[in-house]
Amino acid sequence: MTKKHPHISTSAHQHKQISLIEVGPRDGLQNVKDILSFDQKRNLINYLLDHGFSDVEAGSFVRPDKVPSMADTVQIADAFSKQHDRLWYLVPNLKGLKTALEHNVTQIAFFTASSETFNQKNIGMSVEKSLSVIKDCVEHLKNEGYSFITQWGQKPSKKKEVKIRIYISTVIACPYDGNLAPELTLKVMQKLLPLNPAQFSLGDTIGVGKPADWKNLLGQIDKNLISQNKIAMHCHNTHGTALECIGEGLKWGIRSFDSSIGGLGGCPFAPGAKGNLATEDLLQFLEKEGFQTGIDYRKLKDCFAPERTGKLCNVSNVF
């Protein structure tokens, strides 16, 4: 039986345009067993760009021995050199940042977590150390003469202009530490705000969040005068509650959401967690609620084809 979507009140529709960040080619593929070839990955990214996605996470400048599926990120960056204003790349440290800049990447994502244990398991360092790494990267950009776009709706268009977003994982709960207080996430955000990121992506990494949890978190953020324009929600659909949580976010004025084509992927260091919220499911939900994305989910039906996704399966509820 199909679960009824939460109804969004009229007041929540005042700003109807939604920004989707398609994370499938990076977050969706980072831990798959059947690693896609460079050609398949390039075909997938081209497909997404051709179907109207304006923000696609294309790769990660991480160690290939740690995440083999991202070993061709340099090739991807070079292949899409004319689309850098539509693609995002994850960088783990200063070395990764320098490589990204060598290949003319202009939209850069960093990551940390609210949970100390998760941060140690995921990237081998404390939360405070991870914040220091991000700050060092931003300082390097400044020293190299880069300017920063701080508004999400704007795109890099000039030489030495970059845009950054920062992932914060485990904002609701941690697979090791259990439920986390919203104050932990707020503390991380407040330490990073001086870096002027265009956006924070708040991740419910293990997908246990309920609307009440997001209400609590977003309420704390709002109370501390952090603009909802700086926030994206990154929900996992582990227990089938992701769309209800998105509905809560819409009520709070959140208009940016991460999703993954076909529900691909999730964090390889979060044991037991199922995949990301499927882009198709999110698009269908938003359309029913009267929001605009500029993307027709019906036209994504043939995305999962061998030349793009190999043997990977679409687990969305739409197709």
Please check whether residue 164 is in contact with residue 198, taking contact to mean a CB–CB distance below 8 angstroms: yes
For residue 96, the model assigns a pLDDT of 98
Q: Give the model confidence (pLDDT) of 273-292 as tens digits.
A: 568 999 999 999 999 999 99
Q: Which of 174, 267, 303, 313 is catalytic?
A: 267
From the list 132, 117, 109, 96, the residue with the least C-alpha distance to 184 is 117
Residue 295 to residue 304: CA distance in whole angstroms: 17
Beta strands in 11-142 (DSSP E): 19-22, 56-60, 87-90, 107-113
Residue 255 to residue 163: CA distance in whole angstroms: 18
All structural domains of the chain with their residue ranges: 15-309
What CATH number was assigned to the domain covering residues 15-309?
3.20.20.70
From the list 166, 216, 159, 163, the residue with the least C-alpha distance to 189 is 166
Average pLDDT over all residues of the chain: 93
Residue 84 to residue 223: CA distance in whole angstroms: 35
Question: Is the Cα dihedral 66, 68, 74, 77 positive or negative?
Answer: negative
What average pLDDT does the segment 172-180 reach? 96
> Alpha helices, DSSP H only, in 29-80?
38-50, 73-79
Question: On the CB side of 213, how many CA atoms lie within 13 Å of its CA?
Answer: 22
Q: Give the model confidence (pLDDT) of 218-265 as tens digits.
A: 999 999 999 999 999 999 998 899 999 999 999 999 999 999 999 998
Instruction: Confirm whether 137 is a catalytic residue.
Output: no
